[in-house]
């Protein structure tokens, strides 16, 4: 049994679980709850960076971070891989993963900043994070056609990033000004891999 160090609100953890469900291997993963912010010894033994997700694989190797874990999961089971073989399709999926992970990085960072005492420097950082997300959404809207087709690591990552914006920053209404992305998200969100991993809390 693989072991996934896990926290329920993490969009990166959601991405990993969505990949596992999409490939039908979620039953081979035991989820171990972990608060990375208090650096528990069990997590540090797997990931010295004290971040979730971290996955103890069937080969005994502790994998992190989420892109690496998802690539490893592609080697488990018989389902088609979520990351295409080397070439333009793989590069497209990796690029989508990068923009989705980038939205998560900016939004998770902004959420962390928002919980610190208010000061000018903090507000400046949050404004940059907000602007980065806005520009990333505009890029994905322009390139929305590339999201169609079977699920990939790239499209799942973008969907999890949008789900995190709904979860933590619903008031920002990311759908405004992104009609094509809104339509795409409505349909992709129905996939079991995403429907069963919606963050709660
Ligand atoms: N690049 C990492 C990011 C993981 C990450 O930042 N996880 C957050 C939870 S959402 C975390 O563990 N933060 C704890 C910390 O930064 O100390 C990935 O893709 O897995």
pLDDT recorded at residue 139: 98
| Residue ranges around ligand 1 (CB below 6 Å) | 10, 12, 36-37, 50-53, 65-66, 101, 108
Nearest atom in ligand 1 to the alpha carbon of residue 50 is 17
pLDDT at position 99 over 90: yes
Q: Distance from the CA of 44 to the center of ligand 1, in angstroms?
A: 13
Which two three-digit tokens encode residue 92? 């497209």
Distance from residue 37's CA to the centre of ligand 1 (Å): 9
Domains 2-73 and 88-191 share a fold: no
DSSP string, 177-201: T-HHHHHHHHHHTTSHHHHTT----
**Which CATH number does 2-73 carry?**
3.40.30.10
pLDDT score recorded for residue 30: 98
pTM of the prediction?
A: 0.97
Q: Is residue 167 predicted with pLDDT exceeding 80?
A: yes
Provide the residue count of the chain: 201
CA-to-CA dists, residue 105 to 59, 130, 145, angstroms: 29, 11, 24
Q: What is the pLDDT of residues 107-152, one digit of tens each?
A: 999 999 999 988 888 999 999 999 999 999 999 999 999 999 999 9
Tens digit of pLDDT for each residue in 26-68?
999 999 999 999 999 999 999 999 999 999 999 999 999 999 9
**3.90.1300.10, 3.50.50.60, 1.20.1050.10, 3.30.420.40: CATH of 88-191:** 1.20.1050.10
Residue nearest atom 13 of ligand 1, based on CA coordinates? 51
Q: How far is the CA of 39 from the centre of ligand 1 (A)?
A: 12
5 — phi, psi (to 5°)? -70, 130
Residue 176 Cα, ligand 1 centroid: separation in angstroms?
A: 28
Task: State the angle between helix axes of 66-73 and 88-114 in degrees (0 to 180), rounded to the nearest 10.
Answer: 140
Atom of ligand 1 nearest to the CA of 10: 10
CA of 103 to the centre of ligand 1 (A): 13
Q: Is the pLDDT of residue 201 over 80?
A: no
SS3 of 66-116: the string is: HHHHHHHHCCCCCCCCCCCCCCHHHHHHHHHHHHHHHHHHHHHHHHHHHCC
The atom number, within ligand 1, closest to the CA of 64 reads 20
Q: What percent of the chain has pLDDT over 90?
A: 96
Per domain, the residue ranges of the chain are: 2-73, 88-191
Q: Say how far apart CA 88 and CA 63 lie, in whole Å.
A: 26
């Amino acid at each position: 049994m693989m072991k996934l160090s896990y926290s329920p609100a993490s969009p990166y953890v959601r991405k990993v679980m969505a990949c596992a469900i999409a490939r039908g291997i979620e039953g081979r993963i035991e989820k171990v709850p972990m608060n990375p912010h208090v650096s528990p010894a069990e997590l540090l033994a797997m990931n010295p960076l004290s971040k979730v997700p971290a996955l103890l694989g069937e080969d005994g190797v502790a994998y992190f971070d989420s892109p690496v874990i998802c690539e490893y999961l592609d080697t488990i089971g018989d389902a088609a891989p979520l990351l295409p073989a080397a070439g333009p399709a793989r590069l497209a999926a990796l690029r989508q993963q990068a923009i989705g992970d980038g939205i998560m990085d900016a939004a998770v960072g902004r959420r962390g900043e928002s919980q610190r005492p208010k000061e000018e420097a903090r507000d400046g950082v949050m404004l940059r994070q907000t602007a980065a997300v806005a520009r990333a959404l505009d890029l994905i809207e322009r390139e929305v056609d590339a999201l169609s087709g079977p699920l990939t690591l790239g499209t799942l990552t973008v969907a999890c990033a949008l789900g995190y914006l709904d979860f933590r920053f619903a008031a920002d209404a990311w759908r405004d000004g992104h009609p094509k992305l809104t339509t795409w998200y409505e349909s992709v969100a129905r996939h079991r891999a995403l429907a069963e991993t919606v963050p709660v809390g």
